[in-house]
Amino acid sequence: MPHYLNLDDWPRRPQFEFYSRLDNPFFNVCVEVDVTNLKAWTEASGASFFLASLYASQRATETVPNFRYRLDGGRVRVQDRIMPGCTILRDDDTFGFGYFEPAPTFAEWEEAGRQVIEHVRSTKGLDDRPDDGDVLHYSVLPWVSFTSFSHARSYGTDDSVPKIVLGRFTEREERLEMPVSVAVHHGLMDGLHVGRYVERLEQLCAHPEQLERPRPDHGTA
């Protein structure tokens, strides 16, 4: 059975009701994350930087319960799990969506992730599967180091899925900085919660060896 928040006991109910009335209740934060150590770690091991950064981001979202909250007909449903659905570029310059199941360690994630990438690149179409709220919407723009970002969205719906974009890293004073855009529903979380996600992402990128430690369930990744 779906699990729903008890809004009567939720301290954020006034904020939830206020922002849920707006035509565009999403807000977007763009930050730069130091990925120097993560890049060096992947180069030393021959691992995919794309998959490592995606895994670090996913594990960071799991430490913030609000990333699992979804609108559901005026209620707030709590997802049992969350996973990335990310754009994958093909050789013909089109893209499809790849879905990356949770894994306890990066080694297992990367092995399965390479298979996901190969599957998308060998097929056509988007594979836009029905979304039950467990998928976080990811995009990767390895060609652009952006400072702002906006998304295509349908207004007047229960769309409340967080949307995260990873951009091209650039070198500044011998450090590599990667832009990260985080768009979230303001009725379900505030800047505080996005800040906690960013803080955990920074920690994982600074100490990528933590990605090989077993991944706990829901929230202490």
pLDDT in tens, 112-125: 999 999 999 999 99
Residue 107: per-residue pLDDT? 95
pLDDT in tens, 175-203: 999 999 999 999 999 999 999 999 999 99
Does residue 153 surpass a pLDDT of 80? no
What are the structural domains of the chain?
A: 3-211 (3.30.559.10)
pLDDT in tens, 74-103: 999 999 999 999 999 999 999 999 999 999
Does residue 126 surpass a pLDDT of 50? yes
Two structure tokens written together for 201 = 């992402």
Residue 32: per-residue pLDDT? 97
Residue 220: per-residue pLDDT? 43
> How many whole angstroms from its chain centre is CA 168?
16
Residue 213: per-residue pLDDT? 84
184: enclosing H helix or E strand: strand 175-185
Phi, psi angle pair for 118, to nearest 5°: -65, -40
Please tell me the pTM assigned to this model.
Answer: 0.93
The answer to whether 52 touches 42, Cβ cutoff 8 Å, is yes
Measure the CA dihedral 69/82/23/150, to 10°.
140
| Dist. CA 221–CA 218, nearest whole Å | 7
Terminal-to-terminal C-alpha distance of the chain: 25
| Dist. CA 84–CA 74, nearest whole Å | 25
**Better-predicted residue by pLDDT, 156 or 221:** 156
Diameter over CA atoms, the chain: 52
| Dist. CA 169–CA 33, nearest whole Å | 9
pLDDT in tens, 22-78: 989 999 999 999 999 999 999 999 999 999 999 999 999 999 999 999 999 899 999
